[in-house]
Amino acid sequence: MYKTTEMNIENKISEYVAQVLVTLFGEQEFPEVQLQKTRKEFTGDYTLNVFPLLKITRKNPMDTAALIGTEMVNSVDFIESYEIVKGFLNLKITPDYWLNAFKEITNTANFGFASNSGKTIMVEYSSPNTNKPLHLGHLRNNFLGYAVAEILKANGHKVIKTQIINDRGIHICKSMLAWQLFGDGETPESSGIKGDHLVGKYYVKFDQEYKKEMAALLATGKTEEEAKKEAPILLSAQSMLKQWEAKDPEVYALWETMNQWCYDGFTTTYASMGVDFNTLYYESETYLYGKDFVSEGLEKGVFYKKEDGSVWIDLTEDGLDHKLVLRSDGTAVYMTQDIGTAIQRYKDFPDINQLIYTVGNEQDYHFQVLFLILNKLGFDWAKECYHLSYGMVELPEGKMKSREGTVVDADDLMKGMVDDAFKASELHGHVSEQSKEEQIALADMIGKGALKYFILKVDPKKKMMFDPSASIDLNGNTGPFIQYAHARIQSIIARAEGVHSVSIESAKLTDKELDIIKMLNDYPMVIKEAGLNFSPANIANYVYDLVKAYNSFYQSTPIFNEEEEKQTQFRVSLSAEVGKVIKTGMSLLGVQVPNKM
């Protein structure tokens, strides 16, 4: 018998194949073993591609596969049989191996989760502007950033969740000025409007008045470009920004007050979303951070200065263009701020191994430039910075525009999903025995779970269309479909009075039970791949496939069988393990699962 040190089944098989090749063909340099799961239409569990080995074996694919397959069956105790299909070697694992694998699963605390890796990763997400409430696009950002952070923790990494709050700039002054002109002292308390919603109301009001003034200027013969620049309300906002930068007491006090309204509103929304942060950064504090590093870069020749005094970097040798890093008047641009903020984060947390930015794909170029600049400034850690780029969320009616008030508000959307879940529960009669408080809590769990799952099941890189009615469906690839399966499993466990013990040796496995054990065995690798790919979609779709396999088993196999008590014990135990993986897998997505539904 051959020996192996690897615990993962794919690694085990690969190691055994390598040993078999040495036995059959002597000590040589072999190509890397190419192994994958056997396609469902063929017999077997794992398929070996023998074609890369033909130069060594000097035999045709069929004979090479037969030699390796025969040796594997004779020498590896968990290889039951093999089949050759067009030169590919399909290896079938023995049921005893899967039974022992299941026993190991049941005895493993926090199954699927890795031990401490010693690696620290900072994940930035959300990063809102304090001139408007969070919207549908922010939901994808927050759900994605939070889930990636949780998945990285499950991979054994220490994770620091952060955001930078964009609390300064002309867009903030637009809301402030509109409130001064049209607010009549309105506050969240006097109006009953949530703070961030109230500030957003005046951001929209500014745009409405701006357009009126532009139209008046156009009527006097001004060009559109002239009208855009000369509208009095815009000039006033620009003047207010200068006053803020000079820390004018009245303007600064208004800025602090209206920002606090937004902060309070954001805190409420984050609690409703179920996301959190370990540390916060504020643009009003960080926007000057990068200026010193620009000066250093000038001395080193990384940057160059134009005749007007502006500072640039030439990235043409890197296939890009020239990028502004400091305006001619010495003021910072976003790139300046981001340079300084990144450096400051590594100063604040020296043990960071990687910094991940969760930002939409419209900023792909910005982050490509940022990482290049940091690298050219001599920061080796810049190579480990990563832009978690994601596609936009669109609606059937088109793109959202916050200044025009056409966004889908995050608070309203979450409330609508919870309301829809409550109505659906009443319609299906699932809540008739619950108290009103329990019904509300369940609807909150289902509605928000449906929203999160619908967004996270899509690969982050893909643009997506949001469909509330499809997301709340109890059938198909949805959060409620998975939540219902978990509730069903809990009822099975309750009926069995908590039976979890199982006699592995005496269990007789059906094909559907084998399929479930194989899927459970994949869970650690799914978590690992989700972490490597920064993709919660890997987890979401794995859990969905597991639930589908379990439902097929449940519908065709009687769990409770008085004549075969040991089979009942095994099936209850199998159900319990599926329930645990559903719960932990969904928790990585920020989705709770109910025990009753």
Most confident of 190-194, 281-285, 328-332: 190-194
Going by C-alpha positions, the residue among 404, 402, 452 that lies closest to residue 130 is 402
What is the per-residue pLDDT for 50?
95
Q: Does 103 or 433 have the greater pLDDT score?
A: 103
Mean pLDDT score, 13-35: 91
Residue 594 has pLDDT above 90, yes or no: yes
Residue 498 has pLDDT above 80, yes or no: no
Tell me if the pTM is above 0.85: yes
Topology annotation, domain 9-98: Gyrase A; domain 2 (3.30.1360)
Q: What is the share, in percent, of the chain residues with pLDDT greater than 90? A: 79
What is the per-residue pLDDT for 240?
96
- From CA 440, how far away is CA 109, in angstroms rounded? 33
Identify the band that residue 312 occupies on the pLDDT scale cut at 50, 70 and 90.
Answer: very high
Look at strands 311-314 and 322-326 and give their pairing. Answer: antiparallel
- Give the position of tokens 């059959």: 24
What is the per-residue pLDDT for 387?
98
Mapping DSSP onto H, E and C, the string for 458-511 reads CCCCCCEECCHHHHCCCCCCCHHHHHHHHHHHHHHHHHCCCCCCCCHHHCCCCH
Residue 385 has pLDDT above 80, yes or no: yes
CB 440 within 8 A of CB 422: yes
Residue 501 has pLDDT above 60, yes or no: no
Residue 456 has pLDDT above 60, yes or no: yes
Going by C-alpha positions, the residue among 569, 572, 526 that lies closest to residue 553 is 572
287-408 classified as CATH 3.40.50.970: no
- From CA 1, how far away is CA 463, in angstroms rounded? 51
Identify the band that residue 403 occupies on the pLDDT scale cut at 50, 70 and 90.
Answer: very low
CB 214 within 8 A of CB 231: yes
Whole-angstrom CA distances from 406 to 188, 395, 402, 444 are 21, 11, 6, 25
Going by C-alpha positions, the residue among 348, 345, 344, 323 that lies closest to residue 334 is 323
In what side-by-side order are the strands of the sheet with 322-326? 304-305, 311-314, 322-326
- Give the position of tokens 């190991």: 104
CB 488 within 8 A of CB 578: no
For domain 412-588, which architecture applies? Answer: Orthogonal Bundle (1.10)
What is the per-residue pLDDT for 177?
98
Identify the band that residue 469 occupies on the pLDDT scale cut at 50, 70 and 90.
Answer: confident
Residue 401 has pLDDT above 70, yes or no: no
- pLDDT tens column, 247-301: 999 999 999 999 999 999 999 999 999 999 999 999 998 888 888 999 999 999 9
Residue 109 has pLDDT above 60, yes or no: yes
Identify the band that residue 497 occupies on the pLDDT scale cut at 50, 70 and 90.
Answer: confident
Lowest mean pLDDT across 70-74, 376-380, 401-405, 565-569 = 401-405
Whether the CA torsion 67, 69, 71, 74 is positive or negative: it is negative
Q: How many CA atoms lie within 13 A of 442 on its CB side?
A: 23
What is the per-residue pLDDT for 400?
43
- From CA 594, how far away is CA 597, in angstroms rounded? 6
Domain ranges of the chain: 9-98, 287-408, 412-588
Q: Does 207 or 500 have the greater pLDDT score?
A: 207
Mean pLDDT score, 177-193: 97
What is the per-residue pLDDT for 563?
66
Look at strands 46-49 and 35-37 and give their pairing. Answer: antiparallel
What is the per-residue pLDDT for 39?
93
CB 282 within 8 A of CB 164: yes
Identify the band that residue 404 occupies on the pLDDT scale cut at 50, 70 and 90.
Answer: very low
Which residues on neighbouring strands pair with residue 165, listed in sequence order? 282
Residue 506 has pLDDT above 90, yes or no: no
Which residues on neighbouring strands pair with residue 280, listed in sequence order? 163
CB 540 within 8 A of CB 457: yes
Mean pLDDT score, 526-532: 97
- From CA 68, how far away is CA 549, in angstroms rounded? 32
Whole-angstrom CA distances from 500 to 148, 537, 550, 555, 575 are 32, 31, 17, 21, 9
